[in-house]
Amino acid sequence: MSTVAVYIEQREGIVKRPSLEALTAARQLSPHVVAVCISAPGDASLLARYGAAEVVTIEHPLLQQYSSQAVAVALAQYVRSAEVTTILIAGTAQGKELAPRLAVLIEAAYIPDCTELDRDEHGKLQAKHPLFAGKVIATMQPLTERTVVTLRPNMFTARAVESSSEPTITQFSPTLSEEDRKVVVEQVVRNEGKLDVLEADIIVSGGRGMKGPENFVLIEQLANVLGAAVGASRAVVDAGWRPHSEQVGQTGKTVSPNLYLACGISGAVQHLAGMSSSKVIAAINKDKDAPIFKVADYGIVGDVFEVIPKLIERIAALKQTGA
Amino acid sequence: MTILVCISYVPDTAAKIGVTPEGTGLVLDGVKYILNPYDEFAIEEALQQREKHGGKVIALTVGPESAKEILRTALAMGVDSATIIPSTSLDSFGVAYNIAAYARSIGADLILLGRQSIDHDSFQMASTVGAMLGIPSISVVSKLEIEGATVRAERDIEGGKEILTSSLPIVISVQKGINTPRYPKLPDIMKAKSKPIDTVEPQSVQPRVAMVRYATPQLKRRGIILGDSDADIAEFVRLLHEEAKVI
Ligand SMILES: Cc1cc2nc3c(=O)[nH]c(=O)nc-3n(C[C@H](O)[C@H](O)[C@H](O)COP(=O)(O)OP(=O)(O)OC[C@H]3O[C@@H](n4cnc5c(N)ncnc54)[C@H](O)[C@@H]3O)c2cc1C
Ligand SMILES: Nc1ncnc2c1ncn2[C@@H]1O[C@H](COP(=O)(O)O)[C@@H](O)[C@H]1O
């Protein structure tokens, strides 16, 4: 039986949601899913609820400060000892850096940015990966015994299992030296009080149709009533109206929120590259022929300056009645 | 300091790319190829690091003969020499393998890449090359400082940024914003046309991944487009709330 392991990313002891999504995806591949954590998880039963039959904690003094290099070495040692064939890793900033390094160390195939994952009729792993900014979807298969896959966040739904028992927890002690951690994260600076487009369920994005940076208060207010993050097109980032961290698109961030609401954004192919895998796409644009409407589920043809204030009012009323 | 900057030759972002009827291949007829947009930042960073620390910058691409075009751009921007490893059949692992072998052969101290190649968007090259060489790597860097053999880098992560420390030799992939790439001047463009480009034969390696099928994405969008009357706006909110259940 092939064992599927999921690397669990934690931040200050809290498991990141994309790692729970990876656990759910792993359940489709194997009845026996192992959750692998660097240092003990705050809540092991959470991992069991999302499908881990076994939790492995990798502990070593040199792993206290995060180092992608050292974590890759430690994971590689674990994979070899436990005969794991498939390792799923959430495609976060950390995961995208870690996964290819691990793949080299365990002589595995590496499949990046996977949006669908299953097995073919022979039980062989197959994964979909968008190419050319999503213009083509490739189906990839490993040619090696082991495979490392990163999963695009929010493409797989994290689902709890119906009944879970306490997982068995085992500890694994890798052999590491200072040579294995020549790179470390010295410091993490949080953006206080600002929701990141990569972590938001809803994104409200503004484009050149907003006319100027001062008008983004409308976008911010709308984002506020929706509990959403603010996103931006490259045109407004290049103009200096918004920071680069908000840019969505091929040269910005790739997002797949539950709702992406584009305001005054034309929908250029490079913008679509970053948001076309959103669950629901809505758009407000005064040009009925704007390309964004071709990919939208819901749209309003109208002026953002008239429509957004009305939307804010209605949504605020909806939230108040809790209807 | 010996700096290697790796650049890739990719279809223009606006190019139309199709799939053959059987889904076994790509249709790239008439597609224009360009220097991968992120790699301009890598070239610029290489030149700026050379200005600070001295040494030389070598640009490398693994690709078809026609990719020499982007090496000429790198030469016009100011790299000292350019090398092509002619190949169109290697998978990402094979490209990384050849880059790593070349880096080893020239004793590179700093290997600079773009954060992603916009053809396969795989974000893997920095980590893969770093692992193959047994040296550290840092991806998607937006600020890089090197002093002696000490490296300090910043990068954006979800909800904030990280500050990392490391040492040379190292592989770094860069993000937009790290610098402003220079425009090559006309005389430099002209001079670059006649500069020699070295060729290094590719080493073939067993591929690790097979592309078994290609497809164009299926749009499954509702496409309900409304006007801007109060009733339409109310309907828009109702649809998002009751039908799509996203607000
Ligand atoms: C290599 C490369 C990479 C790129 N990467 C990205 C990327 O990552 N992200 C990105 O977004 N772009 C990217 N682009 C740029 C992209 O091609 C577009 O130029 C950009 O997305 C346009 O931004 P926009 O939609 O805000 O502006 P525009 O295209 O100017 O569109 C503005 C829209 O607002 C509408 N509008 C105007 N006034 C109003 C109003 N009062 N009410 C309602 N609607 C109004 C207009 O009808 C129009 O549709 C890239 C381009 C290249 C070449
Ligand atoms: N064929 C290639 N030749 C040289 N450098 C490459 C090649 N492919 C990718 N790279 C480099 O690796 C970076 C990341 O690419 P990728 O990991 O493939 O998304 C690119 O921005 C380039 O700097």
Q: For A254-309, how does the pLDDT look when each residue is reduced to its tens digit (9 = 90+)?
A: 999 999 999 999 999 999 999 998 999 999 999 999 999 999 999 999 999 999 99
Q: What is the rounded radius of gyration, in angstroms, for the C-alpha atoms of chain B?
A: 22
Chain B neighbors of A317, CB-CB under 8 A: none
Give the residue-averaged pLDDT of A84-99: 97
> CA nearest A138: which of B206, B19, B14, B51?
B19
| Chain B contact probe: residue of A10, A66, A69, A311 with most B CBs at under 10 A | A69
Q: In the CATH scheme, what architecture does the domain A202-321 have?
A: 3-Layer(aba) Sandwich (3.40)
Q: Which of residues 168-207 of A touch B (CB under 8 A)?
A: 182-191, 194-196, 198-199, 202
- Does the beta carbon of A265 sit less than 6 angstroms from any atom of ligand 1? yes
Give the residue-averaged pLDDT of B180-197: 96
Check if the beta carbon of residue B162 is closer than 8 Å to that of residue B21. Answer: no
Q: Is the pLDDT of residue B170 over 90?
A: yes
Alpha-carbon distances, residue A305 vs A267, A282, A311, B113, B165 (angstroms)? 19, 17, 11, 42, 46
Give CA–CA dist A3/A22, Å, rounded: 14
**Which residue segments constitute the domains of chain B, with CATH numbers given?**
2-199 (3.40.50.620), 217-247 (no CATH)
Judge whether A160 is closer than 8 Å to chain B, CB to CB.
no
Give CA–CA dist A196/A153, Å, rounded: 13
Residue A109: phi and psi, rounded to 5, are -75, 145
Chain A neighbors of B136, CB-CB under 8 A: 69, 182-183
Question: Structure tokens of A281?
Answer: 């796409």
Q: Is the pLDDT of residue A1 over 70?
A: no
Q: Which of residues 52-71 of B touch A (CB under 8 A)?
A: none
| Chain A contact probe: residue of B129, B208, B226 with most A CBs at under 10 A | B208
In chain A, alpha helices (H): 17-27, 44-49, 68-82, 93-105, 216-226, 234-238, 269-275, 304-321
Question: Structure tokens of B129?
Answer: 């090359």
Chain B neighbors of A296, CB-CB under 8 A: 221-223, 225
Q: Is the pLDDT of residue B175 over 90?
A: yes
Question: Structure tokens of B137?
Answer: 């790597």
Average confidence score pLDDT of chain A: 94
pLDDT score for A191: 83
- The percentage of residues in chain A with a pLDDT greater than 70, rounded to a whole number, is 99
Enumerate the domain spans of chain A.
4-181, 202-321
Judge whether B136 is closer than 8 Å to chain A, CB to CB.
yes
pLDDT score for A322: 65
C-beta neighbour count of B169 within 10 angstroms:
23
Check if the beta carbon of residue B155 is closer than 8 Å to that of residue B43. Answer: no
0.90 cut: is pTM over it?
A: yes
Alpha-carbon distances, residue A87 vs A29, A81, A113, A172 (angstroms)? 11, 14, 14, 16
C-beta neighbour count of B176 within 10 angstroms:
22
Give the residue-averaged pLDDT of B225-241: 97
pLDDT band for A145, please (50, 70, 90 cuts).
Answer: very high
Residues A72, B217: C-beta atoms closer than 8 Å: no
More confidently predicted of A117 and A323: A117
pLDDT score for A229: 97
Chain A neighbors of B246, CB-CB under 8 A: 202, 258-259, 279-280
Give the residue-averaged pLDDT of A72-80: 97
- Does the beta carbon of A257 sit less than 6 angstroms from any atom of ligand 1? no
Question: Structure tokens of B12?
Answer: 């223009």
Give the residue-averaged pLDDT of A47-51: 94
* A159: exposed, middle or buried (Cβ count in 10 Å: 0-12, 13-18, 19+): middle
Shortest CB distance from A318 goes to which of B132, B219, B241? B241
- The percentage of residues in chain B with a pLDDT greater than 70, rounded to a whole number, is 100
Same fold, A4-181 and A202-321: yes
pLDDT score for A163: 76
Shortest CB distance from B247 goes to which of A92, A96, A315? A315
CA A165 to mean position of chain CA atoms: 28
Judge whether B236 is closer than 8 Å to chain A, CB to CB.
yes
Q: Is the pLDDT of residue B107 over 60?
A: yes
pLDDT score for A162: 83
Of the listed ranges A33-42, A137-146, B80-89, the least confidently predicted one is A33-42
In A28-165, alpha helices (H): 44-49, 68-82, 93-105
More confidently predicted of B99 and B15: B99
pLDDT band for A83, please (50, 70, 90 cuts).
Answer: confident
Fold of A4-181: Rossmann fold (3.40.50)
pLDDT band for A128, please (50, 70, 90 cuts).
Answer: very high
> CA nearest A213: which of A235, A197, A191, A228?
A235
- The percentage of residues in chain B with a pLDDT greater than 90, rounded to a whole number, is 92
Q: Is the pLDDT of residue A11 over 90?
A: no
User: Which residue, judged by its Cα, is nearest atom 53 of ligand 1?
Assistant: B13
Check if the beta carbon of residue A250 is closer than 8 Å to that of residue B123. Answer: no
Q: Is the pLDDT of residue B219 over 90?
A: no
